[in-house]
Amino acid sequence: MKTDAGKWLTLSEVIRKSKLEDIEARPLVKKLGNLLSPRNFGDIVKYPAPVADLLARFSILRRQGWTIEDLKNLLIRSRQKIQEECRAQKPDLLVELRQESATLLKNLEIVINFGSRMQETLQSLAGLLGSMDSLIAHMRAQEKDPGELRTEGSMKEFPSGSTNR
C-alpha cells in the first residue's frame, strides 16, 4: 500500500518552514497536540504541511495575548465549521454522484448495445463469407479447361452425323 508520507512534514520540517525558533514552536505543538492532526508513519510522527503556517500565525496570536486554551478553542471551532460545511455539501455531492452514476450507466448501456450490434454484424459477415466460399468452390468445380470448352463448342457447331453442304 502506497503512503502519502511525502505530503507530510516532520516536526523539524514544520518548525523550519514556520520560521519560528525551536524554543517557541515545540511547546505550541506539544500543548496543541492532536488538534494539529499528527499522523504516525512507522516510528515517525508527521504533520500536514499547513501546520507550519498555522504555527506561525499562532505565534503572532500568542504575542497578542491569546492563551493556549484560546488557540485550542479556535482550532475546535474551525474544525466544527469545516465539518458542518462538509455535511451541508454532502446532499449536493450525493445528488451529483447519483446523476454521474446514471449517466455512466446510460453510456454503459449504449456501449453494450453497440457491442451486441457489432457482434451480430460480425456473425452475419462470417455467414456471408462462408456462403461466398461455398459459391467460389462450386464455381471452381463447374469450371472447365478452355480447351475442353472449344472442343464442346466445336461439336455443337457441327453435330455428328449431319452434313451441311
Angle between helices 22-32 and 11-18 (to 10 degrees): 120
Same domain, 53 and 93: no
Residue identified by cell 472449344 is 150
More confident residue, 4 or 62: 62
Q: Is 131 within a domain?
A: yes
The count of structural domains within the chain is 2
88-97: Cβ within 8 A, 24+ apart = none
pLDDT at 10: 93
For position 56, which CATH number holds? 1.10.1660
Of all helices (H) and strands (E), which one includes residue 40? strand 39-41
- pLDDT band at 105, cuts 50/70/90? confident
Q: What is the pLDDT of residues 109-155, one digit of tens each?
A: 888 888 788 889 999 999 999 999 888 888 888 876 556 655 555 55
Structural domain boundaries enclosing 131? 86-144
Give the integer Cα–Cα distance in Å for 162 and 165.
Answer: 10
Residue 52's closest CA among 17, 93, 95, 7? Answer: 17
What's the pTM value of the predicted model, to 2 decimals?
0.48
Residues 12 and 55 in one domain: yes
Q: Identify the DSSP state of 45.
A: E
Mean pLDDT over the full length of the chain:
81
- Quick one: pLDDT at residue 143? 76
